[in-house]
């Protein structure tokens, strides 16, 4: 039985080093040097070449090298019945919460305005927005959403959430399902997207969603670029209905040089770096899953393929 790593070449060396550190005897192959395809039973992947997975007829698990699995499920040839495992990693959860806190504070402490004034050498004091007066609504109350919500609450923000199924998290008012979306949005001065990308959530940050937010709302998208309808964001910003946006993810990455977001004074761009996978911290759980599969156990953190996350 062998493990195959399918990841952009530039990142392969760190993965090999940290996976081998967990198990020096690991039969680890690195794409495209797969050896006989029938020997591969466990694949680690991030943005693999679509259509390639079907070549491995003895696959027992496909493991994502990120929290999301949308990059795997977009492959129409994922072998049916093979479990797909995602990552769950405390340091990545913490990193995402740091990012969300930074983005929220950047807006409420008016750093977005100061940045614009700086470029014009303009000295203009401006009162910050007080956390107790700012309602932050988090779309997605999973591993990332709940942690970010709890940390925002510690800073005094009024935090609420929205998920697919009803949640009972202490001190966190929340709504569930499409019927409750409007009510949730109506009370979100800052809207944070931490949803997985699925058929239901694709394009969810669109003009209808923006129209339901209070005037002056601020958008933070750290989930996936396909959640956002980019033209609708530009329209809502330019009409003045939205006050700004902080975006980590984009429909096309890297963001093309000619993209209008680059020049927009009220959009802050970060290059898909909210919470990067560190091969060192996640190698132990990947190798553990490999061992489990070899011993006939179900892998940990398996996603529901029907739900898409
Ligand atoms: P989880 O699977 O733990 O949680 C997903 C949450 O979204 C759940 O609360 C779920 O509801 C909710 N949800 C799913 N579908 C819907 C829907 N149709 N309507 C309402 N709520 C829905 O995901 P994580 O928190 O671990 O990660 C979220 C995403 O963040 C990842 O899929 C990935 O795309 C992105 N990400 C981005 C990173 C970056 O660097 N920019 C880094 C890491 C992740 P319920 O609880 O009811 O199931």
Residue 9 has pLDDT above 80, yes or no: no
Split at pLDDT 50, 70, 90, the class of 10 is: confident
Residue 11 has pLDDT above 90, yes or no: no
- 3-state SS record for 225-292: HHHECHHHHHHHHHCCCEEEEEECCCCCCCCCCCCHHHHCCCEEECCCCCCCCCHHHHHHHHHHHHHH
Determine if the peptide bond prior to 27 is cis (ω within 30°): no
Q: pLDDT by residue (tens digit) across 217-234?
A: 999 999 999 999 999 999
Q: How far is the CA of 175 from the centre of ligand 1 (A)?
A: 15
Q: How far is the CA of 76 from the centre of ligand 1 (A)?
A: 22
Query: What does the pLDDT read at residue 8?
Result: 80
Query: What does the pLDDT read at residue 105?
Result: 98
Pocket of ligand 1 (CB under 6 A): 67-68, 96, 140-145, 162-165, 194-198, 200-201, 222-224, 248-249, 272, 274-275, 309
Query: Is position 212 annotated as part of the catalytic site?
Result: no
Query: Is position 272 annotated as part of the catalytic site?
Result: yes
Q: What is the value of pTM for the model shown?
A: 0.97
Please state the atom number of ligand 1 nearest to the C-alpha of residue 146.
25
Query: What does the pLDDT read at residue 1?
Result: 86
Query: What does the pLDDT read at residue 12?
Result: 80
């Amino acid at each position: 039985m062998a493990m195959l790593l399918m990841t952009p070449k530039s990142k392969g060396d760190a993965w090999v080093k940290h996976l081998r550190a967990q198990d020096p005897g690991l039969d680890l192959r690195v794409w495209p040097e797969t050896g006989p395809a029938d020997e591969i039973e466990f694949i680690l992947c991030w943005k693999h070449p679509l259509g390639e997975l079907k070549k491995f007829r003895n696959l027992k698990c496909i493991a994502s090298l990120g929290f999301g699995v949308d990059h795997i499920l977009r492959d129409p040839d994922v072998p049916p019945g093979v479990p797909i495992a995602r990552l769950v990693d405390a340091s990545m959860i913490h990193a995402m919460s740091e990012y969300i806190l930074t983005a929220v504070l950047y807006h409420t402490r008016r750093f977005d305005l100061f940045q614009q004034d700086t470029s014009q050498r303009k000295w203009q004091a401006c009162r910050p927005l007080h956390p107790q007066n700012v309602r932050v609504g988090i779309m997605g109350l999973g591993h990332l959403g709940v942690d970010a919500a709890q940390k925002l609450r510690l800073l005094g923000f009024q935090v609420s959430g929205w998920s697919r199924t009803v949640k009972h998290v202490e001190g966190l008012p929340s709504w569930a399902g499409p019927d409750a979306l409007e009510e949730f949005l109506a009370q979100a001065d800052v809207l944070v997207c931490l949803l997985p990308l699925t058929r239901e959530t694709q394009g969810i940050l669109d003009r209808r969603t923006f129209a339901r937010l209070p005037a002056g709302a601020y958008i933070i998208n750290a989930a996936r670029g396909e959640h956002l309808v980019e033209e609708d964001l530009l329209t809502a910003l330019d009409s003045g209905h939205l006050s700004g946006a902080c975006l980590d993810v984009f429909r096309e990455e890297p963001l093309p040089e000619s993209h209008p977001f680059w020049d927009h004074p009220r959009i802050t761009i970060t290059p898909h770096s909210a919470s990067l996978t560190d091969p060192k911290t996640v190698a132990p759980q990947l190798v553990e899953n490999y061992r489990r599969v070899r011993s006939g156990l179900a892998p940990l953190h398996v996603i529901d393929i029907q739900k898409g996350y």
